[in-house]
Structure 1
């Protein structure tokens, strides 16, 4: 299958059935105990493993493909300006992105060659560690760096660009615009998927409600919107309900394996494989999801259960009712007015100011 045909097949699959993505990457890599030498003395920089230990990275992709998933996300969550900048290697964005996509592509093609079933690669574009809304980094610099990463992912064989775990709407816009610029430069046509992270508080990290995210991001021409990380599926339900009612584009959901429980051995994610599969099946039936998967704490066992549960399901047709409006950072305001008159005024203090009272009289 040619690259263009493969990418076209992904679009068709997302439009006609439930596509299953993979689960957690970082914990799977850390479980293999890479050495400081593997990290090139940059301990914790998982993206460096794309060039030093591609065998470790590929083994994670293979474990998920063996569980039956349709696509895997590249090991490039931190291959961005601010995350790599903390290791003083921001110039390696394109290199590590390309290497990560190439490893995933090789694993996907190997499994496809065995049984003839197409597998896809989602190019992961993470949020980084700096928030432009708070002035940590400027928008233009961030956008251009995301473009470098997107070009690397596409050159390595990614079939879609996944802007994920976004916490700041301005950072999300920078990533989407960077992705769009990369597609234009390379003359490529792949889906751009945005997955925002809504905290247990009910908003994104900077206080944005899901309605604000939809109003701000959908007009950018994204192909899909959804949720990932921060919480388990139970906490995502109401936000998915809003998206199902109002989003014009298809929906995705990749929850954690529940809310983490801190133990003496570190964070433990309590949600089992059956519970995750139950939740994802319910979401598909209730909200018409097209792409499901897992995030922190999920394993190949979790995704195997999800595959078994949603295989053969067709997302029910949605009847979204888009609500035109404008969004601030925090909330969306519909362009809607009641039939009563609209009064706009300012409360004044006639008792506290003698001059104002006399002027008013």
Structure 2
């Protein structure tokens, strides 16, 4: 990792000013970079014989790059993006120059910084937005390992920070796992630098209405917002006409500010190449409408847009105050494809457990034999039978849990339309699953069995969950063991909620409390009231914390009975728990 400078007072002042501008008015970004560079007809020598690698120009022809930034600032924009869209491992590796990631990123940010400072001399602050493009590999499809891409994005971000960027944008993302790799890489770079630069994400949606791999807008928001990004929105792929419904969804559900940087319409292929038909006035019309209707904080342009496009956008939106939004977040988990709310309208949320090696002999034997297609078919069976999420547990004595989780989570990532509950006692196994899933997972589970200190399992698992934006199942177990009375269950639940929200920044609605139950079928007097205690704890917990979710391994109540009796007891117990508030 490169040695990064401590943020200067000037940098902090710029960042504070950027945040203030975004909170009070519409901030305008620039437009297309690649076509502007190509219009200046750089030579093959300028590209160091790496034709098409625009980032090389940051070193060989900084004058060309500088002139593009100057044209956009002269048009009135507030910030320009660095010429670093392809400064990541996978894109640079196509040219066999991946080792120049930091160098090219730093040079691109430094050029933009110099121009921004020149234009800021008139007393109006201009900013630099560090561009982090998607690269050329889709980790969900196995094109490249997640960790390799994440570390490459970290180098990209380190260079942008060192060069003087005021914010970072992970843009034109096509694969949610790819997006996560970039966000987590950027976050690691920011932490290493002691920097609090804003970190934004911009998604690319196809004319099909989904991202390239089929992710819906709800899935994208559910997966990415918990990563702690500061703004989310759309860019590239389409013109503004195709973005309206996605922006409508975001304005209704996103807690964080919104951005939009469309192409100049859908490209039309001509003899001379791709032509973008939307003129400057059309882009200005669209962005004005988006600001007024959806409360956008940042607007700009992407492919096909020019300084004239942005000049007209500036004129149209510079005096607008974005209307206040009143979003209604919908807590839940998501697969790669679609989001599943924790609160179901007409029933409880059902977590299918037939893909748990400790609970299903059939699944365990298929896993032990390496019959992966059979494992996937068991997951699909549960989808057809109405499960809302799938519990994936590969823990088995003598097995390589990390390898099994990588294999199965990687397959479930594309084969299952349902979110995954990662169920393991081993931290490396949980991490392996998270690094295969582009959607938002739930981790099962945390508790206080060994306390809550920095080396406790609770702290380690929670840290991992927060880093990857996962929700958490939390069990009412403390240093004394599993709680058996209403009072003890609720007390531990209160401790869990206070800890997760106050110390770890987890929303109450992303905590799934399991008040637990023992079997009441031991014949022992001390266990007769366990089921009633569980029901009472659910009722009291929901009274105190209506936003918290409650979950339960229901069939534990009837363990030891014959199958027919279990069905009856489970049914009655479920009905009572749901009436008490079980989600």
Aligned pair 1:187/2:233, yes or no? no
Aligned pairs for 1:126-137 (under 5 A) are: 126-137=133-144
- Counterpart in 1 of 2:317? 310
Question: What secondary structure, in the 3-state scheme, does the structure 1 residue paired with 2:178 have?
Answer: helix
Question: What secondary structure, in the 3-state scheme, does the structure 1 residue paired with 2:59 have?
Answer: helix
Give aligned pairs, total: 346
- Counterpart in 1 of 2:105? 97
Aligned pair 1:173/2:180, yes or no? yes
Is the Cα–Cα contact under 8 Å of residues 88 and 153 in structure 2 kept in the other structure?
Answer: yes
Is the Cα–Cα contact under 8 Å of residues 250 and 258 in structure 2 kept in the other structure?
Answer: yes
Question: What secondary structure, in the 3-state scheme, does the structure 1 residue paired with 2:52 have?
Answer: coil
CA spacing shift, 1:118–1:132, aligned 2, 3 Å = same
Quote the offset at 1:335 in angstroms: 1.5
Q: In structure 1, which of residues 41, 44, 56 is the aligned counterpart of residue 64 of structure 2?
A: 56
- Counterpart in 2 of 1:142? 149
Is the Cα–Cα contact under 8 Å of residues 342 and 349 in structure 2 kept in the other structure?
Answer: no
- Counterpart in 1 of 2:230? 223
Following the alignment from structure 2 to structure 1, what is the Cα–Cα distance between the partners of residues 51 and 344? 56
TM-score, length basis structure 2: 0.58
**Rg bigger for which structure?**
2
Following the alignment from structure 1 to structure 2, what is the Cα–Cα distance between the partners of residues 266 and 57? 23
- Counterpart in 2 of 1:65? 73
CA spacing shift, 1:143–1:341, aligned 2, 3 Å = closer
Quote the offset at 1:254 in angstroms: 0.2
Aligned pair 1:281/2:288, yes or no? yes
> What's the Cα RMSD here?
1.3
Question: What secondary structure, in the 3-state scheme, does the structure 1 residue paired with 2:45 have?
Answer: coil
Quote the offset at 1:340 in angstroms: 5.5
Is the Cα–Cα contact under 8 Å of residues 102 and 159 in structure 2 kept in the other structure?
Answer: yes
Question: What secondary structure, in the 3-state scheme, does the structure 2 residue paired with 1:267 have?
Answer: strand
Question: Which consecutive unaligned segments of at least 5 residues does structure 2 have?
Answer: 1-8, 353-381, 386-583
- Counterpart in 1 of 2:345? 338
TM-score, length basis structure 1: 0.94
Aligned pair 1:267/2:274, yes or no? yes
Question: What secondary structure, in the 3-state scheme, does the structure 2 residue paired with 1:2 have?
Answer: helix
Following the alignment from structure 1 to structure 2, what is the Cα–Cα distance between the partners of residues 235 and 89? 36
Aligned pair 1:242/2:245, yes or no? no
Following the alignment from structure 1 to structure 2, what is the Cα–Cα distance between the partners of residues 195 and 15? 19
Q: In structure 2, which of residues 64, 68, 83 is the aligned counterpart of residue 75 of structure 1?
A: 83
Q: In structure 1, which of residues 15, 35, 40 is the aligned counterpart of residue 48 of structure 2?
A: 40
- Counterpart in 2 of 1:22? 30
Higher relative contact order (CA 8 A, sep 6+): 1
CA spacing shift, 1:339–1:68, aligned 2, 3 Å = same
- Counterpart in 2 of 1:200? 207
Question: Which consecutive unaligned segments of at least 5 residues does structure 1 have?
Answer: 348-361
Following the alignment from structure 1 to structure 2, what is the Cα–Cα distance between the partners of residues 198 and 244? 16
Quote the offset at 1:15 in angstroms: 1.2
Following the alignment from structure 1 to structure 2, what is the Cα–Cα distance between the partners of residues 240 and 272? 21
Following the alignment from structure 1 to structure 2, what is the Cα–Cα distance between the partners of residues 18 and 218? 21
